Structure formats: C-alpha cells, structure tokens
C-alpha cells in the first residue's frame, strides 16, 4: 500500500486507534474521512485536526452504511482505502441470560459492519485499485474468556479477511489485516497480569513500517506472541488468559 496521496475512509475514527491512524495519514499527505456514532467526538476530532472530514454513521446499522456509501461515493469518488476499524468490546458472563439485542452488539459492529462496508464499497475500490484494511486482534488467535463474543468476532474477521484477500486479488484490491495487541484506549479494561499494553502511537509506528514493507498481515508486539503461543503451547496460553481475565467476568445478579 502506498502511504501518500490516498483518499481514506476510517470507521470508528473519532477516538482511540482510529483517530490515531487518521492523524498520521493526514500528516502523511492523505485525504481522510472518519466516521463515528458520537457527533461531539467527531466535532472535537475535526477541531483538533481541521483537515479531517467527518461523517456521522453507525457501523452496526445496515441503513446507516447504505447512506454512508451513497454520500462517500458522491463526495469522494477517488476513495481508494477502506479502513474497517470500528469496534466494541464487552465483558460477559455467559452463565447469565441477556436480552438478545445487547447480546449481538459486538457481532453487528465488529463483524457484520465490516462485511457490509466491504460490499458497499467494493465496486469503488475495484475501480480505484484500492486497499481494504480490516482491524481484527491478537485475540483472534487466543480468546480472552471474559470477552467471549468480542473474541469470536475477531476470529471470524481473521477468517473472513483471508477469504476476502483471495477473492479480490485478481481485481487489483489489496487486503490487509491489522491485528493489534492490547492498546491503551477506552475500548475496555484489560487484565494486567502478563499483558503489555502499548500506546496508539507505538501501534501506528509499527503498522506504518509494516505497510511500507508490503506486509498484508500485521501483528505488532504481543499479537505475534499470541499467534506463536497458540501454535506451540495452546493449552498453556489459554489457561494464562483465562486466569488473567477471570476477575473481569461480570458477577451474576
């Protein structure tokens, strides 16, 4: 992927990882559009970085994605990078029944959202010989038991991205998967034992270097370690994550 002269759409770009990448891409000479559900956060991001374009949208809402695609295609026909970053993480107690709507929030945003967004923009990306960047997680390899649905969505995103890469290869669309380790954001509190949390700046630095080298599966820091441990000692690493996250499981009421 080239690092300059792109028109990039970043979902979930009003904070955390998405905003960090948006700022770096803008500084590198790219046109960047960010989306998010919170209008105030989008306005704050645009005030801090005036070059950013903002569109209020919800990655978990099919109708919102349809509207987003129509607006982007009209205003930004040169779009050549779709950065599927929007995501939510919730700790859950699977021994307690939940209402069905909240139970699938992570599925709607983390998995269905990117799949729908790819479908909505694939024609434009093919025409512009573009790039898709899907953000999954190091937890795609080894689940954190306290966040079972989140981890399941990331494992599914990894599998989907592998297939997407193969299917779009002949159409000139590059498909990249970014698999972050634990990053210091507002996504969720993570277990302290055995977990090295990195900053968004460290993640962006490592990712930019990998993009410049043409890597299509980027596993910074402990994300690569999780992949390795899942291959070499799966029982051990599963038990370690289970032990470290036990206190994060909500208690039954």
Residue 76 annotated as catalytic = no
Residues in the chain: 253
Give the span between the Cα atoms of 127 and 251, in whole angstroms.
51
Ordered strands of the 131-135 beta sheet: 53-56, 31-36, 7-10, 81-84, 131-135, 174-178, 217-218
Q: Single out the residue of 141, 119, 149 nearest to residue 132, CA to CA.
A: 119
- Please say whether the beta carbons of 31 and 53 come within 8 A: yes
- Residue 131 bridge partners (DSSP): 81, 174
Q: Are 183 and 199 in contact (CB under 8 A)?
A: yes
- Phi/psi at 206 (5° precision): -65, -40
List alpha helices for 169-221, DSSP H. Answer: 200-212
CA distances from residue 128 to 32, 78, 184 in whole angstroms, order as listed = 16, 7, 34
Residue closest to 120 by CA, chosen among 46, 235, 11? 11
**Tokens standing for 134?**
């899907």
d(CA 122, CA 29): 24
Rounded distance between C-alpha atoms, residue 130 and residue 22, angstroms: 17
Q: Which of 91, 141, 150, 160 is catalytic?
A: 150
Give catalytic residue positions.
150
């Amino acid at each position: 992927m080239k690092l300059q002269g792109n028109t990039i759409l970043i979902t979930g770009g009003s904070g955390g990882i998405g905003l960090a990448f948006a700022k770096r891409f803008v500084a590198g000479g790219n046109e960047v559009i960010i989306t998010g559900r919170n209008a105030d956060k989008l306005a704050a991001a645009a005030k801090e970085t005036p070059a950013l374009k903002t569109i209020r949208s919800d990655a978990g809402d099919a109708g919102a994605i349809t509207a987003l695609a129509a607006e982007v295609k009209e205003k930004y026909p040169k779009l050549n990078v779709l950065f599927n970053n929007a995501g939510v993480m919730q700790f859950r107690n699977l021994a307690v029944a939940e209402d069905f709507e909240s139970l699938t929030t992570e599925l709607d945003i983390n998995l269905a959202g990117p799949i729908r967004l790819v479908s909505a923009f694939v024609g434009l990306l093919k025409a512009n010989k573009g790039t898709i960047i899907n953000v999954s997680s190091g937890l795609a390899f080894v689940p954190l038991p306290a966040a079972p649905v989140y981890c399941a969505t990331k494992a599914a995103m990894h599998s989907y991205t592998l297939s997407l890469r193969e299917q779009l290869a002949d159409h000139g669309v590059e498909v990249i998967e970014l698999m972050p380790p634990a990053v210091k954001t507002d996504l969720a509190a993570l277990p302290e034992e055995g977990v090295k949390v990195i900053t968004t700046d460290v993640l962006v630095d490592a990712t930019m270097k990998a993009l410049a080298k043409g890597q299509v599966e980027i596993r910074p820091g402990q994300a690569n370690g999780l992949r390795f441990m899942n291959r070499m000692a799966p029982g051990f690493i599963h038990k370690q994550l289970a032990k470290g996250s036990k206190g994060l499981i909500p208690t039954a009421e």
